[in-house]
Amino acid sequence: DAETLRDNLLASLASHVGHSHFDDDVTIFFVEHFERHHKKATVAENEQHEFDLVRIIDSFYRANPNSIAPNIMRQNLVFIAEANFSDLIPNLSKQGIRRVLPRNHAINTQLGWNNLLRQHQHINNDDLVAYLRHPTQHREFYFNHSDDKAFVLNDVESWLQDISLPNPDRLDAVVLLLDELIENGLYAAPRDGKGRQLYAKGTVRALSAGEVLRLSLSIQDSLLGISLTDSWGTLTPTVFLNRLARHIQGVGLDAGVGGGGLYLTWRMSDYLQLRVIPYKQTQVSAFLDLNNPFDEVAENGFQFLYHNEVHENINS
């Protein structure tokens, strides 16, 4: 590991110069390289079809939890869950598995399996359009100030009340989901070059010049799609997976970091998709089947599309 290499290198340097202290700074760089393979994997029942995917089957993974080689691109890897899978999330998180689709969830058929599986092949500016091509209802909001949140929440709530949702309890879940998404866009997304949060939660602020925060909602048949897009692109797969794993393990939030909103967003969505172009754009899209009541214990599918493999960390 890096620490062992560092210690051995410093010991060799000290032996060479005859002393263990140095008048000048000593800087050591370590570079990890993962060779990328698309055609080989150590996972049984893999299928690489027209989407250039490695599909991991639930039963095989449970029997062989360490079978996923670190050189397989995680963007092209999908875990197919047969039933509840939250017990696997901590290990999936360590292995960087960020695309999980339950085989028997009806919403996957409604959104289209082929559509779901090919999401890594394209960078969409609006993922709602990719799934809901012919919406009967659509609303869109651009934020200029943090105070806009209250207006938007009230407007959307009134709009959905007028539509008369088949399951009224969904309305409360939608409003809570919107609140979490907007809070993340206003306060969690803006970060400086060192990844430090720029605004404390609850700060009253105007959006900076060039900053974009857009909320879109579409309804097609029984599906409601909600998408929040920011122009920061700071969310990473590691952060998202770590938040899920900590909650599943009962650890909760990282001290001083937060992140409960990501876990709640997953729990309140029938399907959750995150697409990040690093330092350019984050798009979080949540889909709900309005014909079904909110199920607070359901373990629904998610996919995190991260369009820069160079910065992908895999804790194998």
User: Rounded to two decimals, what is the model's pTM?
Assistant: 0.81
User: What's 291's DSSP letter?
Assistant: T
- Please report, as a single letter, which amino acid is at residue 267: R
- Identify the CA nearest to 283 among candidates 187, 191, 184: 184
- Identify the CA nearest to 308 among candidates 273, 279, 274, 272: 279
Edge to edge, the sheet with strand 77-81 lists: 54-57, 77-81, 99-102, 301-306, 271-277, 281-289, 223-230, 213-220, 137-142
Q: Where are the domains of the chain?
A: 124-311
Non-local CB neighbours of 25 within 8 Å, separated by 6+ positions: none
Whole-angstrom distance, CA of residue 96 vs CA of residue 70: 9
Name the CATH superfamily housing domain 124-311.
Histidine kinase-like ATPase, C-terminal domain (3.30.565.10)
- Identify the CA nearest to 267 among candidates 244, 290, 285: 244
pLDDT 10s digit of each residue in the chain, 316 long? 567 777 778 888 888 877 877 777 778 777 765 544 444 443 434 444 557 889 999 999 999 988 788 888 899 999 999 989 999 999 999 999 999 999 999 999 999 999 999 999 888 788 999 999 999 999 999 999 999 999 999 999 999 999 888 888 889 889 999 999 999 999 999 999 888 999 999 999 999 999 999 999 999 999 999 999 999 999 999 999 999 998 888 776 554 444 578 999 999 999 999 999 999 999 999 999 999 888 888 899 999 999 985 545 444 4
